[in-house]
């Protein structure tokens, strides 16, 4: 049984993760962490998740879990995740990181822990999305530079704080890489006013924020005469949570390194 602690346990994903660990036969709830000073410290994490007492009280400091836990699952915010990585390096713990919205500098800082912490870092832990990334790679390679315009459209709930989503960016990167393009050069994230016609090689992004949409992504390959759309729709956060618990079980016996969900699912090249 992999002993898991959930950081950000009071959040939308945190509460869903409590459910997912509870339902997983190979994992057990060893702890839950809330923000320092939170009034939720001491509350049973099962009650936080709405599934009744589980005998595990939320704590507001990781130090309290140093002896108890093998893998941290962290869906919080970039700075919190980076400080938790330092804790894992110091205490020999493993980490599954779902946090999105990291800057390039923050990703470089995260990467600096790859020789000291076994970690799975993925902007989207859903098995379906990771299969979709594989399909996108295949589509981009097959269509090649043959005049297909590529656009990525994503929709999420009104509370999401970063845009475009980490998943949309990852989709753009996979497509760009398959076509030998650099997303930093060819990504177009805003079109407003007299912006002129699109260029051949640009990869455009459009963002929708509305209501309670869990997460939808479409990548469009459009040319004269046809349009191919590859779409993934998440209908519940459980899909991300189940993937994260699967990643936690997988990373429990891995050496230090930075892995992603393609590694966890055996979908790598
Ligand atoms: P949320 O705001 O509901 O939850 C974040 C939680 O982190 C909050 O409860 C907050 O109190 C807590 N937190 C902040 N600082 C903390 C600290 N120092 N210690 C412990 N807890 C702390 O947000 P959410 O919708 O659950 O999303 C969280 C992150 O996960 C976002 O970056 C989101 O984009 C990402 N996300 C990733 C995936 C994926 O599959 N990788 C899926 C969904 C969401």
Task: Reply yes or no on whether the pLDDT at 251 is more than 90.
Answer: yes
The pLDDT value recorded for residue 144 is 84
Instruction: Please tell me if the domain spanning 2-121+237-264 has the same topology as the one spanning 127-234.
Output: no
Q: Specify whether 217 is catalytic.
A: no
CB atoms within 10 A of CB 170: 23
Q: Specify whether 156 is catalytic.
A: yes
Instruction: Tell me which of 7, 11, 80 to substitute to probe ligand 1's pocket, judged by most ligand atoms within 8 Å of the beta carbon.
Output: 11
pLDDT per residue as tens digits for the range 114-154: 999 999 999 889 999 999 999 999 999 999 888 999 999 99
Ligand 1 lined by 34 (C-beta under 6 Å)? yes
Q: Which residues does 9 contact at the CB level (< 8 Å), separation at least 6? A: 15, 17, 18, 32, 33, 34, 45, 48, 49, 58
Q: Is-contact 110 98, C-beta < 8 A?
A: no
Cis before 164? omega within 30: yes
CATH 3.40.50.720 given to domain 2-121+237-264: yes
The pLDDT value recorded for residue 145 is 86
The domain locations on the chain are: 2-121+237-264, 127-234
Single out the residue of 225, 83, 78, 48 nearest to residue 166, CA to CA. Answer: 78
Ligand 1 nearest atom to the CA of residue 10, by list position: 9
Task: Reply yes or no on whether the pLDDT at 269 is more than 80.
Answer: no
Length of the chain: 269
Question: Do the annotations mark residue 12 as ligand-binding?
Answer: yes
How far does residue 59's CA lie from ligand 1's centre (Å)?
16
Give the CATH class of 127-234: alpha beta
Global confidence as pTM: 0.89
Name the catalytic one among 156, 217, 232, 242.
156
pLDDT per residue as tens digits for the range 30-89: 999 999 999 999 999 999 999 999 999 999 999 999 888 999 999 999 999 999 999 999
């Amino acid at each position: 049984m992999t002993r898991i602690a959930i950081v950000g346990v009071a959040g939308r994903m945190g509460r869903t993760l409590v459910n997912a660990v509870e339902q997983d036969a190979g994992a057990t709830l060893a702890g839950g962490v809330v923000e320092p000073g939170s009034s939720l410290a001491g509350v049973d994490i099962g009650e936080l998740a709405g599934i009744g007492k589980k005998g595990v009280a939320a704590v507001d400091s990781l130090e309290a879990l140093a002896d108890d836990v093998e893998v941290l699952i962290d869906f919080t915010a970039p700075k919190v995740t980076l400080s938790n990585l330092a804790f894992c390096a110091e205490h020999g713990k493993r980490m599954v990181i779902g946090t999105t919205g990291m800057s390039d500098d923050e990703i470089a800082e995260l990467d600096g822990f790859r020789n000291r912490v076994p970690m799975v870092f993925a902007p989207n832990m859903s098995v379906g999305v990771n299969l979709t990334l594989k399909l996108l790679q295949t589509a981009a390679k097959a269509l090649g530079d043959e005049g297909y315009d590529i656009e990525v459209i994503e929709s999420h709930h009104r509370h999401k704080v970063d845009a475009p989503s980490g998943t949309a960016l990852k989709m753009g990167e996979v497509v760009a890489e398959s076509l030998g393009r650099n997303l930093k050069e060819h990504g177009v994230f805003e079109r407003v006013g007299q912006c002129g016609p699109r260029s051949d090689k640009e990869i455009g992004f459009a963002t929708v924020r509305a209501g309670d949409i869990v997460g939808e992504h479409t990548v469009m390959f459009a040319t004269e005469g046809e349009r191919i759309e590859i779409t993934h729709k998440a209908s519940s956060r459980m899909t991300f949570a189940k993937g994260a618990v699967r990643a936690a079980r997988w990373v429990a016996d891995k050496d230090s390194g930075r892995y992603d969900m393609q590694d966890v699912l055996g979908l790598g090249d």
